[in-house]
Amino acid sequence: MSAIGTSLGRIDGPEKVTGTAPYAYEHDVAEPVYLHAITATIPSGTITRMDTTAAEAVDGVLAVLTPWNAPRLADTSDGEYSILQGPTVAFRGQIIGGVVAETAEVARHAQSVVRVEYDVRPHDATFRIDGPDVYVPEVANGGSDAVSTDGNPEAVLAQARARGGPVVDSWYSSPEEHNNPMEPHTTIACWDPAENALTLHDSTQGPHGVASTLAPVLGLEPDRIRVIAPHVGGGFGSKGAPHAHNVLAALAARALPGRSVKFAVTRQQMFVFTGYRPAIASHVRLAADAEGRITALIHDAYSQSSRVKEYVEQTAVGSRSMYAAEHRSTSHRAVPLDVPVPYWMRAPGECPGMFAGEVAMDELAEACGLDPIELRVRNDPPTDPESGKPWASRRLVDCLREGARRFGWDARARTPGTCRVGNALVGLGVASAAYPHMINPGSQATVTLREDGRYGVQIDAVDIGTGTWTTLTLIAADALGCPPERVVLEIGDNALPSASVAGGSSGTSSWGAAILAAVDAFRQRYGHEPAVGASVTAGSDAEPDEDYQPYSFGAHFVEARVDVDTGEITVPRMLGVFSIGRVINPRTVRSQFIGGMTFGISMALQEESVRDPRFGHVVTQDFATYHIPVHADVQDVDAVWLDDVDTRATPMGSRGAGEIGNVGSAAAVVNAIYNATGVRVRDLPVRADALLSGLPEA
């Protein structure tokens, strides 16, 4: 019987619910000391003086780091990591020092009495598409070309306008959003001067990546940095790489060799130097013929970036492949500001990009007089428009049809704003979802027959709450032909065989392929009756079939209700139908889907980091003012998937599932709100006052 496909409960579940699973800050270390960051209170300028006298006099303070006494970094080329190396301030909240003390309370108090004086310079923290420094980068995030053009879309669009054909020409925007996993970014750093080595207990999505990134910054070889992360309390992309707080912890550990420096980033600081989804603006223009087939598609995206380091979301990349269009162009522009560096947030690029694209498709359906599903079906491309390759598996139409059947799409009001139930206007909305399938190279695994008769499987994968402990156990058991309880998995330590980052929905694909390769090598060497102690380490060079284009697809269906008196928006029903190849563990994959769909509700209706342009900082720095869904906001949400096996994508037949759930989901909410009220909202999050024109008069 195949272990893959078994609905197995989380192997790490008992540890987590009993509180015995050690997260980064909770590891038992000898002689811990505590670090608190000193941060800049201006958005741009130069530190002229730091008076640390009062802080150093506080009982229990061991060290106060400043730009004038901190250890020197070996490589300062990366602006995000180059902290405490000079007096320049690039954004408000930048780390400019740190206090280490015997207790966390003393460290926090002592940093508050450090007095800093500045020479303040003018700054710009306002995101706008006509900013003075807007530019076209060479590439967007992920290495995609910033600009891509096929045919002559501008001319075709102009012709469509001239003849009065269906045209969409609209702007769409999403604000800054912060990842905010329940476990904040935390690390414990210990410097061993005898070995010239650093140990980090870190909340990260990739221990090997932390070591390889920090090594040149600190002037070490990667094998001199050990990173341990067996349990991680969420990341949503923000923990996909180290940030400035890791460097500060390492500098503090170097200043106090032999002591274990504990550093927990505060919830307020999570809105500063640990990454965030940047503000995005998209200009989408579409033209279609009389049958509703897209003749021109233009998507121009603007992404907030930082003067410290460039980061440009690949917002328009999804529009290169999503629908058929002979004439198409996409472009990206960076808007550099005096703000912290943005970074990955679940489905970076695809999420805000497909919000814009899928709302635009809803508008085009209306302009064409077509049902939104029918418009998408008519423009489903037989091959990938960008590469020209056939799809490894594209079952988007199946997802749309199955979702429509399950959700009761036929009950949707054809005229927006005409369906009322009690005191609420009711609408249904739909949006497509797509996410590229990736396998990152270089992962390895070790398989060993233990003395207790079980198989040990070691790989430096990470479980950030996604179910890795369970999923990889199932993959190993399936390959070994044994029940899951005979597999003992070890992950989350770069002393184990190397593994790629848990990002881009690539983790299970990359790590699973490595485990299959290691089991295959184990069987080839030892057969099916190995002796105790038999062990093999092997890696996988598996990649998706280069003759095909692998993607995951899905369709979101939403019912939205809008109170006719208050404009309050609720989402009583939401359904996602997905095609991701073979499902490894139905229980954890459904959790992933529903989590992503909840992200979509949150993005559409609640999440917004409000940055005050006068002072350069985010003012919504806690869960009281930065709103995310609670149980009452997420009612009947369900996710299903199509049975499929895609061996062109991975040896397991699976594709990525982690991010497809929140791609397109916000658009489905917005499209349902339009169907309910007749008000088209293009700027997130949707507020009640935006719907006033669609509410009936008293």
Strand partners, 638: 575
The two three-digit tokens of residue 497, written as one number: 């065989």
The two three-digit tokens of residue 518, written as one number: 């290691």
Range 52-59 contact pairs with CB under 8 angstroms and sequence separation of 24 or more: 52/97, 52/114, 54/113, 54/114, 54/115, 55/99, 55/110, 55/111, 55/113, 55/114, 56/110, 58/101, 58/106, 58/109, 58/110, 58/113, 59/106
Residue 405: Cβ within 10 Å count:
11
- For the beta sheet containing 115-120, the strands, ordered from the edge strand earlier in sequence to the opposite edge, are 88-89, 45-51, 115-120
The two three-digit tokens of residue 484, written as one number: 């899951």
80 to 41, 87, 342: CA distances (angstroms): 17, 15, 10
In whole angstroms, give the CA distance from residue 326 to residue 385: 8
In 3D space, the residue among 559, 369, 547, 349 whose CA is nearest the CA of residue 434 turns out to be 349
Contacts of 328 (CB under 8 A, 6+ apart): 148, 149, 150, 151, 153, 296, 297, 298, 319, 320, 385
* CB distance 211 to 217 below 8 Å: no
In 3D space, the residue among 231, 271, 240, 354 whose CA is nearest the CA of residue 39 turns out to be 271
Pairing of strands 327-337, 294-306: parallel
Using CB atoms within 10 A of its CB, is residue 353 exposed (0-12), middle (13-18) or buried (19+)? Answer: buried
* CB distance 335 to 302 below 8 Å: yes
In whole angstroms, give the CA distance from residue 198 to residue 71: 14
* CB distance 322 to 400 below 8 Å: no
Is 659 noted as a catalytic residue in this protein? yes
Strand partners, 551: 436
Catalytic residue among 310, 363, 607, 659: 659
Centroid of chain to Cα 188: 24
Cis amide prior to 586 (ω within 30 degrees): no
In whole angstroms, give the CA distance from residue 347 to residue 337: 23
Q: Which sequence positions are flagged as catalytic? A: 659
